[in-house]
């Protein structure tokens, strides 16, 4: 069927077209089916229906299809029904608990990357793999397929270092210290990071306060070779692109299949050519990994997968029930990290965790002897070498290398949450803290976030400030304060937990 083109200037992240229900009935396709769109080029697209947005005799092309076919307003294309892609048939095998071959997994990942699978099909795959975990072989093939379907960075010299955090802990800004410490000791660490999805600030959101973070793979390689390290956004590099597409499906489902977690981490490390990797696994209440036992199992699986991929992996089980440092939100966290680089002044939790992780990498990279890595990392902070390296990183990424912690401003609208009674702070709800920071505007509003005055175990007096909420916009501050007052993220020893009324009062 030949139809006139009506461009729809909307990005949907997939090849999709819109047909009038009259034409769809004539073609014999249902919503969610696929059609072949042919002109001088051709592609397969998923069908949406409409009764009024697109007139009969026309086909609406979303941005991605227009870009591929390069069509204009008055031109026509041929539309015909298309069969379900073979990659969708692979998903059925996962749902039926059938083992996949290497070829089938590569077929599936290619289907994810080339946008030939619908969101419904991807959701089915995520759910099925959450219920029916993949074998070690399948997980290895999935990881390799994710690496091979994107860009790769290959260095001529080794070792290449990298680190990753499982996440879930507010204020985990340690990459801003670890990367310059490692690079200052002569090792290469091309750190590509994500933006926050559910958190108050990913490493890329933080680094963006200081310098641009969007670079392609060749630029990341070039900068790393020149100065030893970068702090870049992985989404701009086209490294392991299948991972970003799967994360988009995971988020609304609130699931994180074990095999996907392993493949996601290791594909990104493999794509940047890393051969020495430290993975931070925060454990405890409010984290993704509830206890040390779960953390050890995950560590074994990551180490095993790393060995299969030719990477030496070590894992650090870290305390995750309380924020790292005393800040949550991009500008606040950057200011705190820079202060440590400048003068070693800062929270013990931030300094200890950063130097411990950096120390592991220094030992693995052969520049520190076993058991002395943390001491070397601390000295690299104390003697200013890490600060100088951070300035080099900021400069090569296009930022102002003369920036200091005093130059970083938090949001001007503030509100202090105070202690309702004397006592000790005995509980800190990480998830609520992140929710409050996000309501205040983080991570998009760089100045939004939460400054923590009192942490778990510290004494407080009635009406003493425990948290200060920062926002760039007054209405966002009001939303964050209202949420914090309705459901406090803290608990003070001696506070009344609950009053249960008598029947007479009900």
Annotated active-site positions, please?
Answer: 256
For 285, what's the count of Cα atoms within 13 Å in the CB-facing half-sphere?
Answer: 8
Return the SS3 of 157. Answer: coil
CB 176 within 8 A of CB 339: no
Pairing assessment for the beta strands 2-8 and 76-82 based on DSSP bridges: antiparallel
Q: What single string gives the DSSP state of each residue in 287-342?
A: SSB-SHHHHHHHHHHHHHHHHHHT-EEEEEEEE-SS-STTEESHHHHHHHHHHHHH
Neighbours of 108 (CB within 10 A): 26
Nearest Cα to Cα of residue 150 among 277, 238, 24: 238
Cis peptide before 468 (omega within 30 of 0): no
What angle is formed at CA 309 by the lines to CA 225 and CA 372, rounded to 5 degrees? 60
Nearest Cα to Cα of residue 145 among 90, 190, 198: 90
User: What does the buried/exposed string (b/e) look like for 338-369 if buried means 16 or more CB atoms within 10 Å of the residue's CB?
Assistant: bbbbbeeebbebbbbbbbbbbbbbbbbbeebe
Nearest Cα to Cα of residue 76 among 27, 112, 22, 39: 39
Instruction: Dihedral sign for Cα 393, 399, 405, 411, please.
Output: negative
């Amino acid at each position: 069927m030949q139809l006139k083109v009506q461009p729809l200037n909307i990005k949907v992240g997939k090849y999709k077209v819109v047909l009038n229900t009259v034409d769809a009935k004539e073609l014999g396709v249902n919503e969610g089916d696929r059609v072949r769109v042919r002109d001088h080029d051709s592609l397969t697209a998923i069908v949406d229906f409409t009764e009024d947005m697109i007139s009969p005799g026309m086909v609406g092309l979303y941005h991605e299809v227009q870009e591929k076919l390069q069509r204009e307003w008055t031109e026509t294309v041929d539309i015909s029904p298309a069969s379900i892609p073979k990659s969708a048939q692979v998903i059925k095998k996962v749902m039926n608990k059938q083992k996949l071959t290497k070829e089938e997994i590569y077929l599936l990942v290619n289907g994810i990357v080339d946008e030939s699978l619908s969101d419904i099909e991807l959701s089915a795959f995520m759910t099925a793999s959450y219920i029916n975990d993949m074998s070690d072989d399948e997980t290895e093939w999935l990881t390799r397929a994710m690496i091979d379907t994107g860009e790769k960075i290959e260095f001529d010299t080794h070792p290449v270092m990298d680190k990753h955090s499982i996440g879930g802990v507010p204020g985990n800004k340690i990459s801003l210290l670890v990367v310059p410490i490692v690079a200052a000791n002569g090792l290469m660490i091309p750190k590509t990071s994500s933006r926050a999805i559910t958190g108050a600030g990913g490493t890329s959101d933080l680094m963006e306060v200081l310098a641009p973070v969007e670079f392609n793979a060749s630029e990341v390689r070039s900068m790393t070779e020149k100065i030893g390290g970068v702090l870049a956004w992985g989404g701009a590099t086209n490294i392991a692109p299948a991972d970003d597409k799967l994360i988009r499906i995971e988020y609304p489902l609130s699931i994180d299949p074990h095999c996907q977690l392993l493949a996601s981490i290791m594909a990104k490390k493999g794509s940047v050519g890393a051969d020495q990797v430290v993975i931070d696994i925060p454990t405890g209440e409010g984290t993704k990994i509830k206890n040390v036992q779960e953390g050890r199992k995950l560590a074994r699986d990551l180490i095993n997968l790393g060995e299969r991929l030719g990477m030496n992996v070590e894992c650090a089980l870290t305390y995750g029930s309380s924020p790292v440092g005393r800040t949550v939100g991009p500008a606040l966290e950057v200011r705190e990290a820079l202060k440590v680089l400048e003068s070693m002044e800062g929270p013990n939790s931030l300094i200890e965790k950063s130097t411990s992780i950096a120390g592991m990498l220094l030992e693995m990279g052969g520049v520190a002897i076993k058991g002395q890595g943390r001491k070397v990392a601390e000295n690299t902070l104390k003697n200013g070498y890490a600060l100088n390296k951070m300035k080099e990183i900021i400069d090569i990424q296009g930022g102002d290398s003369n920036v200091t912690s005093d130059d970083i401003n938090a949001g001007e609208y503030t509100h202090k949450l105070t202690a309702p009674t004397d006592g000790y702070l005995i509980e800190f709800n990480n998830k609520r803290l992140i929710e409050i920071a996000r309501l205040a505007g983080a991570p998009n509003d760089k100045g939004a976030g939460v400054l923590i005055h009192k942490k778990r175990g510290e004494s407080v007096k009635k009406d003493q400030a425990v948290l200060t909420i920062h926002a760039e916009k007054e209405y966002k501050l009001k939303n964050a304060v209202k949420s914090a007052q309705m459901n406090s993220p803290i608990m003070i020893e001696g506070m009344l937990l609950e009053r249960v009324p008598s029947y007479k009062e009900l």
